[in-house]
Structure 1
Amino acid sequence: MLSRKGYSQELAKKARRENFPVASRLLPRRHRDHLMAVYGFARSVDDVGDEEPPGDRLRLLDEFEADLARLYDGETPRLRPVRALAPTVRECAIPAEPFHRLIEANRRDQSVTRYETFDDLLGYCALSANPVGRLVLHVFGEVSDARLALSDRVCSALQIIEHCQDVREDYRRGRVYLPEKDLRRAGCPDGHLAATATSPPLRAAVAVQAARAAKLLGEGEAIVATLAGFARTAVAGYVAGGHATLAALAAARYDVLGRAVRPRRLRLLAAWARVLMTTRSSDPALQRLPSA
């Protein structure tokens, strides 16, 4: 078992591999700590659903669920990622539901390995990705119905972008997150997913998902204009990570099997600056949104 220091170091290493700045040093320490606590829970639950022996995964996810119940009942959690959440849940008044939805997403991964349509995939994103954005808004005390709706678009986009990057890794785990309908339309059977080179049909199928993610990201980007201060900086970073990764996928011509497609730091920073400088809301009411 890792020490507390070892756990923090391992978590920071994983965060650096994400497409976006999880807890930028531009933010105050209290915000970074809360964001890393949220990320630590989400990452740990994902690791259980992906990395543990298949026969143990549902049991371990049940343990996370039970430990969340302890936390919200005022008891001391047993698992380190849940214990680390205690100050964040208390200080930011975070409800339990988003955490439970993240666990449910990983339960679904154990039985649902393919999605027929893009709408089906969005239903999965509502469990696996959208709760994270909602947790971030709670961390900054910036929750409102309108912001939650915009955040969901951003987070679904980020999840779909990640699926585009991880086609090979997901397939090796027995999962396909590219909608079956789109794979058939592109003429892309499973053999293309198992290949060492990205075929033109697979590139076409990935490009379709990237275009859909770009549309969602563009729709959700208006959330940045409704925020100020450190919340605006953080959320702009997440949006910028999506834009930078989409640009990297396009530059690679959607070759997701022959290389690891990741955004370069300079591209991310440039996108971050652009989002901060140019994002404007088309709805003046959004700029006056109260926190819930």
Structure 2
Amino acid sequence: MFALPGGGYFPDVRSESCHSRKLAEKARRENFPVASRLLPRRHRDHLMAVYGFARSVDDIGDDERPDDRLRLLDEIEADLARLYDGRPARLGPVGALAGTVQECSIPAEPFHRLIEANRRDQTVTRYETFDELLGYCELSANPVGHLVLYVFGEVSGPRLALSDRVCSALQVIEHCQDVGEDYRRGRVYLPEEDLRRAGCPISHLAAATTSPRLRKVVAQQAARAGTLLGEGEPIVAALSGFARTAVAGYVAGGHATLAALRSARYDILDRAVRPRRVGLLWAWARVLTTMTWPGAGLRRLPSA
């Protein structure tokens, strides 16, 4: 482990085995296949490096002591600057990116946006409108899609635009799943205007069971996420090879989780609503089947 000045720890670049095992376990608990074994090893390794960085930054913003979080985010950003300056990284999550950044020609900007999202989490705890929440997703979720496209060498303006829709949808879906956990962390990602319109006081988010009013608000966000996911789904047909396989898995994860939320009738406080593996595989097959005919995605690509 690498001790930071004033306290706090990251795995250093020499002690990654335990960290990698923990990271793989976290990846298995995600709604979508982070780095499926259907992909070649080089792609899996690059995706896990990107996921490891994003996961580590999120953990800083959520799990470290509040007084330490901004300082630790500054430290990881400083290490990222060292990497892009051609100097050796000191911290494991950044050091693991070195080969990926070089081989895939990834710019620093998406990584900085992920760090900024977690800085925002320390000061902004509620969002008035859904549009404001989407503004947060531009920092917290959309950069991940950009990084995935860089990993596969499939970056273009239209694909990035579709990726943003998919990633924002996946972020909103995760917020629907984690309403109670987020509230316990002091954050509310359900738009306040929607809570007011439904007559759902904030106190309902702390209850042991999900009230009908809260279910209504969660269902509203899930429906919005479903619309975004549908708008972004043509990206699958706009990709080729292993990129298509991977991104179809992410889209399928969104669909499978939305189905799980519907099946649970948006009861998200007294249970962990997660998609079953069979549901994910079925959705993956459907996405690949329906979005692989020539032109299926390109006809709906937005202009660059």
Alignment partner of 1:172 out of 173, 181, 184: 184
Asked whether the equivalents of residues 46 and 151 of structure 2 are also in contact (C-alpha less than 8 Å), the reply is: yes
Alignment partner of 2:207 out of 195, 205, 208: 195
Q: How many aligned residue pairs are there?
A: 290
Asked whether the equivalents of residues 222 and 281 of structure 1 are also in contact (C-alpha less than 8 Å), the reply is: no
The equivalent residue for 1:119 is 131
1:231–1:70 distance in 2 versus 1, CA, 3 Å:
same
The equivalent residue for 2:117 is 105
- 5+ residue gaps, structure 2: 2-10
The equivalent residue for 1:7 is 19
The equivalent residue for 2:78 is 66
Shift of 1:286: 2.0
Residue 259 in structure 1 maps to residue 277 in structure 2: no
1:189–1:281 distance in 2 versus 1, CA, 3 Å:
farther
Distance 1:73 1:38 in 2: 19
Amino acid in structure 1 at the alignment position of 2:24: A
Asked whether the equivalents of residues 244 and 268 of structure 1 are also in contact (C-alpha less than 8 Å), the reply is: yes
Asked whether the equivalents of residues 166 and 233 of structure 2 are also in contact (C-alpha less than 8 Å), the reply is: yes
Distance 1:172 1:15 in 2: 23
Residues 166-245 of structure 1 aligned to structure 2 (within 5 Å): 166-245=178-257
Residue 26 in structure 1 maps to residue 27 in structure 2: no
Q: For each residue in 1:168-213, what CA deviation from the matched residue of structure 2 results, as whole angstroms up to 9, or x when unmatched?
A: 0000000000000001111110110000000000000000000000
Amino acid in structure 2 at the alignment position of 1:112: V
Shift of 1:228: 1.2
Q: For each residue in 1:91-128, what CA deviation from the matched residue of structure 2 results, as whole angstroms up to 9, or x when unmatched?
A: 00000000000000000000000000000000000000
**Which secondary structure does the structure 1 equivalent of 2:34 belong to?**
coil
Q: For each residue in 1:129-171, what CA deviation from the matched residue of structure 2 results, as whole angstroms up to 9, or x when unmatched?
A: 0000000000000000000000000000000000000000000
Alignment partner of 2:52 out of 33, 40, 65: 40
Q: For each residue in 1:252-281, what CA deviation from the matched residue of structure 2 results, as whole angstroms up to 9, or x when unmatched?
A: 000000110000000000000000001168
Asked whether the equivalents of residues 226 and 281 of structure 1 are also in contact (C-alpha less than 8 Å), the reply is: no
TM-score normalised by structure 2 residue count:
0.93
Asked whether the equivalents of residues 144 and 167 of structure 2 are also in contact (C-alpha less than 8 Å), the reply is: yes
1:189–1:276 distance in 2 versus 1, CA, 3 Å:
same
Shift of 1:224: 0.2
Specify which structure has the higher proportion of helix.
1
Distance 1:281 1:234 in 2: 17
Asked whether the equivalents of residues 194 and 217 of structure 2 are also in contact (C-alpha less than 8 Å), the reply is: yes
The equivalent residue for 1:249 is 261
Q: For each residue in 1:201-254, what CA deviation from the matched residue of structure 2 results, as whole angstroms up to 9, or x when unmatched?
A: 000000000000000000000000011110000000000000000000000000
Root-mean-square deviation (CA, aligned residues, Å) is: 1.7
**Which secondary structure does the structure 1 equivalent of 2:58 belong to?**
helix
Distance 1:281 1:133 in 2: 23
Amino acid in structure 2 at the alignment position of 1:60: L
Residue 89 in structure 1 maps to residue 101 in structure 2: yes
Large movers: runs of 4+ above 3 Å: 280-285
Distance 1:4 1:89 in 2: 18
Amino acid in structure 2 at the alignment position of 1:148: L
The equivalent residue for 2:281 is 269
Asked whether the equivalents of residues 115 and 176 of structure 1 are also in contact (C-alpha less than 8 Å), the reply is: yes
Amino acid in structure 1 at the alignment position of 2:53: F
Distance 2:293 2:50 in 1: 28
Residue 161 in structure 1 maps to residue 173 in structure 2: yes
The equivalent residue for 1:144 is 156
Distance 1:282 1:110 in 2: 45
